[in-house]
Structures are given as structure tokens and as C-alpha cells.
Structure 1
Amino acid sequence: MKQISGIGVLLASLISTPVLAEDRFAKVEISSEPVAGNVYMLQGAGGNIAVLVGEDGTFMVDDQYAPLTAKIQKAVAGLADQPLRFVINTHWHGDHTGGNENLGKSGALIVAHENVRKRVSTEQFIEAFKRKVEPSPPAALPVITFTDATTFHWNGDEVKVQHVGPAHTDGDSIVHFAKADVIHMGDIYFNGTYPFIDLSSGGSVDGMIEAMDTALVLSDENTKIIPGHGPLSSPAELKVQRDMLQTLRDRIQKLVDNGQSRDQVIAAKPTKDFDEQYGQGFMTPDIWTGIVYDSLAAKSKKS
């Protein structure tokens, strides 16, 4: 079965009528892949899900879209008989938190950085998509929040949830399954494409690079990396993208420092030697260059 792009479904859900969005979700299948130890990765539409199974109960990272909850629950049931006890949100976007209400009502405790709760509980506007996002209902809100980090001693593992950023947003967390040696990056890492940086939610290109550095410090050559989107990855692949981001950030920074306008920077095609590898996703080279320009220009105004 050809997997439907999570980003493609995200965009469709932003620009389509609810009926069309439901039709698109009806075609989505949930696949599961063993990662390491008792950790699995689920893919469908939206952000990649991590699942830790064991006698204490099931532990999940992110939950995609509400129409997929039943399919996700079925896939999880195929991995373990234990009930779902915790759901971690790596950030607030709906392709990672859309299942919160359904899973919260089914008895799972939703956990996230405090900025995630602030954003999902209030109206938001995603500038890149020109889209207003209504507040989530009370049952969808994280019931446990933290400011810096929290640790779960669960299913024989030590699961460290660490706030990083601002990076993709101002509420990003990476989740480190220490015993299994697995790190879920959330949308700090889009494997194979230019990463979306949500400036309207407090993100920054500098923060993306720093957050990747944080994950790399926690990794060794055997660590498995679950990206927010794309296939299962490794620290070596993460390092390649981190270095790409730094190279392009520095190129665009020079253009900003030379006084070039946003349109001039985009016209200069600073990403051209990376576009074949990274520019084939929904973040086209011109759109992505504009976002990085905006991030760096905002920083210059503050300094």
C-alpha cells in the first residue's frame, strides 16, 4: 500500500471542505514498524507516532488526526493488550494533537509542554497557511504540563521528555526512550524535506539547529531517530540535515546582512544545490527561503 503523505493530508485538511477531508482520511491506513526494544513507530497521515508497550500500559507520542483515532487504536491493539495510559504531544499542531480529545475521553492522560496547552486552548493563526485554528475542546487539552523536562519510569524504560526551542514552535519537546535508545524528534526533523518552521508559533531557524544539536548529544551511532515526518532515521542522517540547515542559514544571513530584500533573497536561490534532495516536499525552495529570511530578519530587528 502506498502511504499517503502526512503533509499532503495536512494541506488538504487546511484547504478542503470537511467532507473532502474526511474522504481523504478514509483512504489512510496505519502502518507499524518496530524500532528498538518495546518501541514502535506508526505512520498514517500527519506526524509519526511512537508507541512504547509493556505491562505498565501503552505510552504514545503524538496522535495524528481525530478521524484516524479508531484506526490508530486498532494498530496499537495489535501491538499490546494493555490500555493506553499516556499521550505526549511534541507540539501543538493538529496533525500531532488531533486525536487528543478522543484519546483523552478514552482515559489516556495528555502530557505536553505548557506552551502546547496555551496554544491549543486559545485561537491561533498559522501565518504560513493563512489559517485560523479554533481552540480545542477541554477534553483535548493536556492535563499535565511541564516547563523544562519530565521523566516517565515506564515499561522498564526511562522516558525523558525535554523541552527545546523555540524551534519548530515555542512548545517543542523531544522524547528520549533511554533504554531502547530511541529519540522522537517531533517536527524539529522532517526527514527528506526542508522543515516547516512555524514562525507565527514562536519558531526560529536558529532554534531548529540548536534542538537538533541537543538530540545529537543524546545519541550515538546506534540510536534510532523517529522524525516528525518521513521514514525512520539515524543520527548520521539527522546530522546531515542539521549541517544543511546551518549552511543555508549562514548563506541567507549574509544576504540579510548585505541589505537584500525578501524578494531579492528568494531570487538569489540560496538553496539551489540542496533543492533536488530537500525541495520536493510541500516546503518548496522559495517558500522555505522566505520563512528563513523572515526568521533571520526578525532576529536582526531585535538585536
Structure 2
Amino acid sequence: MHYKIIVSLIAFFSLFSVLAQKTDGGDKVQFKMINVNKDIYMLQGKGGNIGLSFGHDGVFMIDDQFADLSEDILKEIAKVDKKPIQFLINTHMHGDHTGGNANMVEAGAIIVAQDNVRTRLQETIIKAEDKARGDTKILPTITFAQDMTFYFNGEKIMIFHVHDAHTDGDAVVYFTQSNVIHTGDVFFKDRYPYIDLNNGGTVQGYMAALEKIALLADDDTKIIPGHGDIGTKKDLEAMASMLGNIYRRVTHHYTNHKTKAEIIAMRDFTKPFDDLGFGNGFISTEKMLEIMYDDVEKIKGKIDKRNMEERLQEELMKQQENKGGKGE
């Protein structure tokens, strides 16, 4: 009886291991290995959520957090399955999802990503000041434009590109048999998302991506977000609805000549989500509204905020300049 209890405890802690590790900066990182469904797991640590498929073909991995955590991540994976990592999918280019690329290649992984991820990572190599980020091993060796399919560990794994969402290179991974979807940063659970306008992301593209993923999901689908805990189809739909409501309000105030500072100061339309703690993550309420404003400004262009008299005066000055030029 005592033996069975001990074995059960060991099994439990191997599935939900929470081990204190240290980064180079001395900060402790808590790793948590969570069984999502069947042989699909989520590993949480520091950075984006890692997705894992274990089985007879080996380990199929999604994202890899930071380089200084790679050794500990590999140890966590080996506790579930000691087979080598065969494939590593980068859901996009950000360092908290691709920082361990070079180390995973050293461990035998083949990196796969959307075309734009390789292009963006090449840009980081050119700009890199430190050797770790300048290593060409960080680059995906297999890329795709729209979608691709793996048959691995008894799963049909569909990978598809969602356009101009979080970035311009986002990929979503769908484990069809296990009914699990890894969204990368196209979905943040219970927090405002980061939409990287400087790397091809757009608010409208982000909302469209959420809607596309929701079409694949059913009420039993488990969603591994880029950040946060496991979600559901309802969470995806709620996020899309929230972003749509806020975006419409920001657009309305922008077209009515409100400044960025004035819109950021408005909290009536974000209050329901702020009260739930959505602004307590990486993206604050202020930052979310700033992203929304900048996105609207990109689409609509800068709005002339001068009054009618000021515009007429400028028009008269232009007419007088034109007359003067003809007189010469």
C-alpha cells in the first residue's frame, strides 16, 4: 500500500513538476509541465508557453523560450520522454519564443516556421551585438508560406499562417486527434495582448486570426495560449469581442479629433476588463490603448485637428502664393 502511494506521488510530480531554476541573472524560474490532453503537454516557465507532443516518433516541440533556460527545459522534457526533439516550430519571431533555437538545434531539432520568421530573425542576426543572438543556428531550416501538415506521433498536425496578426509571421498549430491548438501570441489568456505593429502586426489581423482559430475549435478544444493558462473556444471569442469593442471606441474618438493622450485617459470602455486584471500583464491598459491608437492612425492617416478658420487661412495663403508665382 505504501509503495503504491509513493509511486502515485512520483507520477503526479513528474506530470506537474514545479522546479526552481535560476537564470543567468539569478532570478528563479518556476517550470510547470501540464498534461493538456492525451500526449500533448504545455511547459510553462519564463517566456512563451511551450507546446509538446510525445510519442513513438519522438518529441515535437513548439517554441523554446530563452537561451539560458534551454538546459533546464531539456531536463524537464526528458522527465516525460527521453527521445530526442525531432521538430521545433517557431510560432513567430520574438525572443521569448525563439531564444533557445540555437541550443535546440545543437540537441538535434529541425526548426520550422513561416517564411517571415526566418526573414525577421535574419534581421536580428545582422543587428546582433552579442554572439548568442548572432548565431545563424537560430534560423528555421524549413519554412512555409501558408500552411503545412505533419503526420507525427499518431497525429495529423496542421500548421497554418494567420496574416498580420501578432506579427507578420504567426503560425498556429492544431493537433487534430488530441483536439489541442497552440496559438502562439495570437492569443493571450486573461490579459491584454501585445500586437507588434513594428513587425507586421495589426489589430484587425489579430481579431481575424482569433475568429479563424475559433472556427476550428469546438467546446472540447483545449487552447494553449502564447501566455497564460489553458483556454477554450469561449475565451477566444471573448478576446475577439473585447478587442472589437475597444477598437471601435478608439476609432470613434480618433475620428472625432481626440488626441492619443485623451484616448488613453478614457477608461470607461476598458473598465470591465481592467477590473478582471487584464491590464496587469506585460501589456498595461495604457499600452493597449496606445497600440489601438497607432493602428488606427496607420490606417486613417493623421487627422487635421485644426479648426475651420485655420484651414481657410492656409488655403488663402496657398492661393496668394500661386498668384504671386504666376505674376512673375
TM-score (norm 1): 0.87
Contact 1:120 1:136 in 2 (8 A): no
Q: How far does residue 282 in structure 1 lie from its aligned partner after superposition?
A: 2.5
Look up the match of 2:274: 275
Given the alignment of the two structures, is residue 85 of structure 1 paired with residue 86 of structure 2, yes or no?
yes
Look up the match of 2:292: 292
**Count, aligned residues:** 280
Distance 1:209 1:133 in 2: 32
Q: How far does residue 272 in structure 1 lie from its aligned partner after superposition?
A: 2.6
Gap change, CA 1:123 and 1:100, over 3 Å in 2: closer
Q: 1:22 aligns with which of 6, 24, 42?
A: 24
Look up the match of 1:207: 205
Paired residue secondary structure (2:123): coil
Q: How far does residue 57 in structure 1 lie from its aligned partner after superposition?
A: 1.0
Q: How far does residue 136 in structure 1 lie from its aligned partner after superposition?
A: 3.8
Distance 1:105 1:259 in 2: 54
Structure 1, unmatched stretches of 5+, are 5-19, 126-131
Deviations 1:39-67 (A, max 9, x none): 00000000000100111110000000011
Distance 2:83 2:38 in 1: 17
Distance 2:64 2:124 in 1: 20
Deviations 1:236-277 (A, max 9, x none): 122111111111111111112222221121122342332122
Q: How does 1:202-281 map to 2 (within 5 A)?
A: 202-269=200-267, 270-277=269-276, 278-281=278-281
Distance 1:124 1:164 in 2: 25
What letter corresponds to residue 153 of structure 1 in structure 2?
Y
Distance 1:225 1:235 in 2: 7
Distance 2:156 2:26 in 1: 37
What letter corresponds to residue 215 of structure 2 in structure 1?
V
Q: How far does residue 81 in structure 1 lie from its aligned partner after superposition?
A: 2.5
Structure number, greater radius of gyration:
2
TM-score (norm 2): 0.81
Look up the match of 1:49: 50
Distance 2:138 2:275 in 1: 39
Paired residue secondary structure (2:160): strand
Contact 1:122 1:136 in 2 (8 A): no
Q: Higher relative contact order at CA 8 Å, sep ≥6: structure 1 or structure 2?
A: 1
Deviations 1:95-137 (A, max 9, x none): 0001100001221100000110111111399xxxxxx766641
Look up the match of 1:129: none
Q: How far does residue 151 in structure 1 lie from its aligned partner after superposition?
A: 0.7
